[in-house]
Chain A
Amino acid sequence: MSEAQSVIRAKGLDLTFQTNDGPVHALKGVDLDIKQGDFVSFIGPSGCGKTTFLRVMADLEQPTGGEITVNGVTPEQARKARAYGYVFQAAGLYPWRTIGGNIRLPLEIMGVPKSEHAERVAKVLELVELSGFERKFPWQLSGGMQQRASIARALSFDADILLMDEPFGALDEIVRDHLNEQLLHLWERTQKTIAFVTHSIPEAVYLSTKIVVMSPRPGRITDVIESTLPRERPLEIRESPEFLAIAHRVREGLRAGHSDE
Chain B
Amino acid sequence: MRSILPVLTVVAAILGIWLLAVIPMNMHLVADQGQRDGLVVQPETPAERQEFSGLGLAMRNPDLIPLTYNFKRPRLPSPQQVAGEMYDTIFGKKITSKRSLVYHGWVTLAPTLLGFVIGTGLGILLAVGIVYSRVMDRSVMPWAIVSQTIPILALAPMVIVVLGSMGIQGLFPKSLIAAYLSFFPVVVGMVKGLRSPSGMQLDLLRTYHASNTQGFWSLRLPASLPYLFASLKIGISASLVGTIVAELPTGARAGFGARMLVGDQYGQPLVSWAALFAAALTAAALVGLFSAIERITLKRMGMAAA
Do A and B interact with each other, yes or no? yes
Residues of A within 8 A of B (CB): 58-60, 79-80, 82, 84-86, 88-90, 92, 94-98, 105-106, 108-110, 137-139
Q: Name 11 A/B residue pairs within 8 A (Cβ), A-sorted.
A: A58-B207, A60-B206, A60-B207, A79-B209, A84-B207, A92-B200, A96-B303, A97-B302, A98-B302, A109-B208, A138-B302
Q: Which of B200, B207, B302 contacts A79 (CB 8 A)?
A: B207
Q: Is the C-beta of B222 less than 8 angstroms from some C-beta in chain A?
A: yes
**Most B Cβ at <10 Å: residue of A84, A95, A139:** A95
Instruction: With A80-B209, A96-B222 as known contacts, state yes or no: A88 contacts B200, CB within 8 Å.
Output: yes
Q: Is the C-beta of B201 less than 8 angstroms from some C-beta in chain A?
A: yes
Query: Are A90 and B200 in contact (CB-based, < 8 A)?
Result: yes
Q: Is the C-beta of B51 less than 8 angstroms from some C-beta in chain A?
A: no
6 nearest A-B residue pairs (beta carbon) = A137-B302, A96-B301, A86-B207, A109-B210, A109-B208, A106-B208
Query: Are B302 and A60 in contact (CB-based, < 8 A)?
Result: no
Query: Are B207 and A109 in contact (CB-based, < 8 A)?
Result: no
Q: Is the C-beta of B110 less than 8 angstroms from some C-beta in chain A?
A: no
Which chain A residues border B303 with CB–CB below 8 Å?
95-96
CA of A169 to CA of B210 in the docked complex: distance in angstroms?
27
Given contacts A86-B207, A96-B302, A96-B303, 18 further A-B contacts (CB under 8 A): A60-B203, A82-B208, A84-B207, A86-B203, A88-B203, A88-B204, A92-B200, A92-B201, A94-B219, A95-B301, A96-B225, A97-B302, A98-B302, A105-B208, A106-B208, A109-B214, A137-B302, A138-B302
> Shortest beta-carbon distance, A255 to chain B, in Å?
32
Q: Which of B198, B218, B301, B302 contacts A105 (CB 8 A)?
A: B218
Query: Are B209 and A82 in contact (CB-based, < 8 A)?
Result: yes
Query: Are B218 and A92 in contact (CB-based, < 8 A)?
Result: no
- Nearest A residue to B297 via CB reads A96
Number of residue pairs across A and B with beta carbons under 8 Å? 53
Q: Is the interface of B mostly helix, strand, loop or mixed?
A: helix
Which chain A residues border B201 with CB–CB below 8 Å?
92
Which chain B residues border A90 with CB–CB below 8 Å?
200
CA of A97 to CA of B303 in the docked complex: distance in angstroms?
10
Instruction: With A94-B219, A94-B222 as known contacts, state yes or no: A109 contacts B301, CB within 8 Å.
Output: no
Query: Are A110 and B222 in contact (CB-based, < 8 A)?
Result: no
Q: Is the C-beta of B205 less than 8 angstroms from some C-beta in chain A?
A: yes
CA of A137 to CA of B303 in the docked complex: distance in angstroms?
9
- Nearest B residue to A163 via CB reads B207
CA of A58 to CA of B208 in the docked complex: distance in angstroms?
10
Which chain B residues border A84 with CB–CB below 8 Å?
207
CA of A82 to CA of B222 in the docked complex: distance in angstroms?
25
> Shortest beta-carbon distance, A46 to chain B, in Å?
17
CA of A70 to CA of B202 in the docked complex: distance in angstroms?
22
Which chain A residues border B200 with CB–CB below 8 Å?
88-90, 92
> Shortest beta-carbon distance, A218 to chain B, in Å?
24
- Nearest B residue to A81 via CB reads B209
> Shortest beta-carbon distance, A241 to chain B, in Å?
40
CA of A89 to CA of B214 in the docked complex: distance in angstroms?
23
> Shortest beta-carbon distance, A166 to chain B, in Å?
12
**Most B Cβ at <10 Å: residue of A60, A84, A92, A94:** A94
- Nearest B residue to A157 via CB reads B208
